[in-house]
Amino acid sequence: MSYKSRSYQTELTEAKHAINILGGKIHSIHDYDLPLGYGQRSLIVIEKRRKTPELYPRGIGIPKKRPLTL
Protein backbone atom coordinates (compact mmCIF):
# COMPACT_ATOMS: atom_id res chain seq x y z
CA MET A 1 0.00 0.00 0.00
CA SER A 2 1.07 3.53 -0.62
CA TYR A 3 -0.49 6.56 1.06
CA LYS A 4 -0.39 9.56 -1.28
CA SER A 5 -1.84 13.00 -1.82
CA ARG A 6 -4.52 13.26 -4.48
CA SER A 7 -1.87 14.33 -7.02
CA TYR A 8 -0.53 10.77 -7.27
CA GLN A 9 -1.32 10.28 -10.98
CA THR A 10 2.08 11.36 -12.34
CA GLU A 11 3.99 9.34 -9.79
CA LEU A 12 1.85 6.27 -10.42
CA THR A 13 2.26 6.56 -14.20
CA GLU A 14 6.04 6.68 -13.76
CA ALA A 15 5.99 3.74 -11.32
CA LYS A 16 3.81 1.34 -13.36
CA HIS A 17 6.82 -0.10 -15.21
CA ALA A 18 8.70 -0.75 -11.96
CA ILE A 19 5.63 -2.27 -10.30
CA ASN A 20 5.29 -4.68 -13.21
CA ILE A 21 9.00 -5.64 -13.24
CA LEU A 22 8.92 -6.37 -9.51
CA GLY A 23 5.85 -8.60 -9.81
CA GLY A 24 3.11 -6.28 -8.70
CA LYS A 25 -0.17 -5.03 -10.10
CA ILE A 26 -2.27 -2.06 -9.04
CA HIS A 27 -5.24 -3.62 -7.26
CA SER A 28 -7.27 -0.58 -6.24
CA ILE A 29 -7.17 3.12 -5.41
CA HIS A 30 -9.22 4.58 -2.57
CA ASP A 31 -9.71 8.34 -2.29
CA TYR A 32 -10.39 9.95 1.10
CA ASP A 33 -11.24 13.36 2.48
CA LEU A 34 -9.46 13.93 5.77
CA PRO A 35 -11.44 15.39 8.66
CA LEU A 36 -11.16 18.98 9.87
CA GLY A 37 -10.16 20.26 6.44
CA TYR A 38 -6.76 18.54 6.42
CA GLY A 39 -7.04 17.79 2.72
CA GLN A 40 -7.45 14.76 0.55
CA ARG A 41 -5.43 11.56 0.37
CA SER A 42 -5.39 8.41 -1.69
CA LEU A 43 -4.47 4.87 -0.72
CA ILE A 44 -3.00 2.84 -3.58
CA VAL A 45 -3.16 -0.92 -3.04
CA ILE A 46 -0.58 -2.94 -5.00
CA GLU A 47 -1.06 -6.69 -5.18
CA LYS A 48 2.00 -8.95 -5.42
CA ARG A 49 1.25 -11.29 -8.35
CA ARG A 50 4.55 -13.09 -8.88
CA LYS A 51 7.99 -13.52 -7.36
CA THR A 52 10.47 -10.65 -7.64
CA PRO A 53 13.23 -11.51 -10.17
CA GLU A 54 16.57 -12.65 -8.69
CA LEU A 55 18.22 -9.52 -10.11
CA TYR A 56 16.62 -7.45 -7.32
CA PRO A 57 17.56 -5.80 -5.06
CA ARG A 58 20.33 -4.25 -7.11
CA GLY A 59 23.73 -3.11 -5.85
CA ILE A 60 24.57 0.29 -4.41
CA GLY A 61 24.37 3.09 -6.97
CA ILE A 62 22.73 1.00 -9.72
CA PRO A 63 19.14 2.20 -9.07
CA LYS A 64 20.27 5.81 -9.38
CA LYS A 65 22.17 5.09 -12.62
CA ARG A 66 19.46 2.90 -14.13
CA PRO A 67 16.05 3.55 -12.50
CA LEU A 68 13.18 1.16 -13.23
CA THR A 69 10.89 3.96 -14.38
CA LEU A 70 10.64 4.69 -18.08
Domains in the chain: boundaries: 2-65
pLDDT digits (tens, 9 = 90+) for 31-60: 999 999 888 899 999 999 999 999 999 999
Strand arrangement of the beta sheet that strand 40-48 belongs to:
2-5, 40-48, 24-33
**Percentage of the chain lying above the pLDDT 70 cut:** 99
3-state helix, strand, coil in the chain (%, to 5): 30, 35, 40
Measured at the CA of 14, the angle between CA 8 and CA 61, to 5 degrees, comes to: 115
